[in-house]
Chain A
């Protein structure tokens, strides 16, 4: 082994603790960075890959066949800005009833396109199973619309029986099902035909590009011919958002991790240089060149960092696999692990950053003159911060405490790094606590199912999966909604209640299903949290989910026309609500308006507030006794809320990352204090020779660090709040929704004080070990080191 190698190895071996701290820091920052960047990549790649391969439609548009002819529609393919087009295909919203659904349930409404060609120029749909429809009586279902339907299953659309011949996947989600045009025409008989055109645009990078394309197409047709459009960006966001929500906070943690990394590396390497000035002098006296000395110190930092970086990448892949499996499964594109280039590039970048950080003090070491290095004074010059010292000397505290308080002023640079480590830790804790509170608030606000003391659910509602009875069981005979309503109203325990009905409507600007949520009764207690505007006060008003509002490109105060099977209702948008149910694509209104659109709509769930003193369990039991066999199900309100597993996963991940960063901050403090006490070993020896007890030594060291922690905690906490206020809305934005203020303003004064005191805790935790080491260090030996 070369002389240089020996020096490096001895250096790493001697500074085992510092090397460990460095490796851990690198591990954590790399893990966070790889996760963040890897998730951005995987969440984007499956969609982009499938969409590109299928030549998916940038713009899917629906037209009123009574306003524009097929020939006119076909001609829109030549509109400026349109690169390619497919269609027109006839489309209709068709209720498709799966076998085993209870009698009376017509099944979910699917957007069905009449299309003979599976792979036209645009939207070359992939077949997951079976084949494309060739004749009447056949239907191809989209994978998302038909969770698990075997090929050959007979489904019904009204009176018509259809055989499922294929399961397909349209990346751009142009439709939920396909059949031959003649079959669709037959199903849609008697109504004005609607058509679908699929466009690829020359420019499709932004929402504005898509809007321009939409305007160009609409401009080429008679007025009001376009009834709805869908941007691939919305679909992409749908697919991406699940994983994409993780990106802002993972990025934040990655940046904090990197900041800590740089800090710790700088502390360790410059500490190593300071502590080893004599060694460097000896090395140079022996003939080491400045470059060799510099290289030796960079290598001392990089060696442990390599270990940390590799383990960090492994950790990130393990954590990432847990998350991305879900994303990959929803998109059916195999396992989406973190891309290899991220695994290679991110650790390399972090390593380079660490090497550069180490280079600065290492070069300084290299440039030290031998004689200078051999003779540098050990103790700091006494003149420093004398005034502060004198003032502190007046404080009525014991001598060890006074000495501890004065110490930070003697080494301002070291104190600054200590403060930075503490501030980073406080920042991470504050950020994580805030984020978890915000997520808890979102968790609580995302559904209204927990409103009221008792929730009574009566069918039909929800997706097909909920209606599958146990094998062999008779399909249930549903309860009469009017009787359920009457029972709730008359029950002695009921103080107040409101009903909710869910129907599907079409909203301009959002193709596909939009959920209409209609309230009957005192709806205010069941109000969603508002982001803007107010809750509706009665008929003629509608509250729109934030995400839908953005998809519609509308704002509060606008008027929106809702459509269902040829009926329309015009409502004024009075509020923007925070709704994550129904993918955030929902409108909330009075049930009277809903019935004008979809006659016969009845509440499918009732939220009941009980009179004080009445027994919720008995109430629930009474309802279930009477209607339980008819598909009605009552539960206590607090047990009805379904917690989102992705929010729980996020909270777990945030806590984990924060804990890791706090650990690094503590290690950073520990590292600094170890360096410091090592340098002060001689002074500590003198103190002990003069009769300083171990307790006094510990308190002296602890006080000096804790004071810094207390001071550094406050700015760290404030930075954490700022970061939280920036990242949280960003997470909402990636999920396509704005957030209510209450979700963001989660810090109150007492919490802030507590978090700021966290700096003290971090500092104390980090200093505890070295302080007790200092108290135990061999005095005789310390005094010998002269």
Chain B
């Protein structure tokens, strides 16, 4: 078996007050997997994702992604790590409202210093691939929820990250748009993209995940492979 892409060892995260949001969680995710993290509200799903992305630091334990000890990185190094290895998609899209679609998608490449022409080609490729090419010059405020999430996914994939993280990607979408995003993720995974997906939505998990992890009060309560329905 190849080395895991994500390797969490006894990770604990405690905020200033209250019980730990994550309590000695150990988890390994291998390249090509699509892991759905399920659990009730407040069980620590977003916290888990933030730790993997290096947006936050664990109180104890180690987080290793693609061979990098994420929890030991400086702010600067973790920014570089994210640029290179991680793409993120959020429930509320988090697009920058005052930049148009193309500029939003170009941002990660620009931050990483990718040559202009290469970045433009990559953006065009993604826009075409995700079916939003006609919105290139539009501002996010004018797009539908589903379209916005496609833009967010395009932006996350811009730097060809090994890992795509998604936090409730369908949480703010109607059923049809949700199904749309589900199909998109499944296709990406089929092409070899490793995905960690946080969701409440059992159907989404069943629809595009190869494995399901269930959190309860900050602990892994269940970890089972899913038979992907095609």
Contacts and interface: CB of A to CB of B under 8 A. Distances in A.
A674 B54 CA distance: 25
B111 A690 contact: yes
Interface string A66-92: 000000000000000000000000000
Interface in B133-162: 139-141, 155, 159
A379 B94 CA distance: 12
B8 to A, nearest CB: 16
A683 B96 contact: yes
Interface string B85-114: 000101010111111100100011011110
Q: Main secondary structure on chain B at its contact with chain A?
A: helix
Q: Main secondary structure on chain A at its contact with chain B?
A: helix
A769 interface: no
Interface stretch (A465-473, A478-486, A773-781): A773-781
Interface in A735-786: 775-776, 778-780, 783-784, 786
Contact of A410 (B56, B79, B98, B141): B98
B186 interface: no
Given A399-B110, A410-B98, A778 B56 contact: yes
A691 B97 CA distance: 18
Given A399-B110, A778-B56, A780-B55, A688 B90 contact: no
Given A692-B79, A693-B76, A382 B141 contact: yes
Contacts of A778: 56
B122 interface: no
Which of B53, B82, B94, B103 has the most chain A CB atoms closer than 10 A to its own CB?
B94
Interface string B112-134: 11000000000000000000000
Interface in A376-414: 379-384, 389, 393, 398-400, 410
Contact of B155 (A383, A399, A690, A692): A690
Contact of B53 (A399, A689, A775): A689
A330 to B, nearest CB: 63
A364 to B, nearest CB: 24
Given A410-B98, A683-B96, A686-B96, A691 B53 contact: no
A668 to B, nearest CB: 25
Contacts of B88: 689-690
A690 B83 contact: yes
Interface size class of B (residues with CB under 8 A): 35 or more
B76 A399 contact: no
A728 B196 CA distance: 71
Interface in A685-722: 685-696
A691 B83 contact: yes
A691 B80 contact: yes
A404 to B, nearest CB: 13
B94 A682 contact: yes
Contacts of A382: 97-100, 139-141
B75 interface: yes
Contact of B112 (A691, A695, A776): A691
Nearest to B99: A382
Contacts of A690: 82-83, 88, 107-108, 111, 155
Interface of A: 379-384, 389, 393, 398-400, 410, 682-683, 685-696, 775-776, 778-780, 783-784, 786
Given A382-B97, A687-B111, 16 more contacts: A382-B141, A393-B103, A410-B98, A686-B96, A689-B53, A689-B55, A690-B82, A690-B83, A690-B108, A690-B155, A691-B159, A693-B80, A694-B79, A696-B79, A780-B46, A783-B55
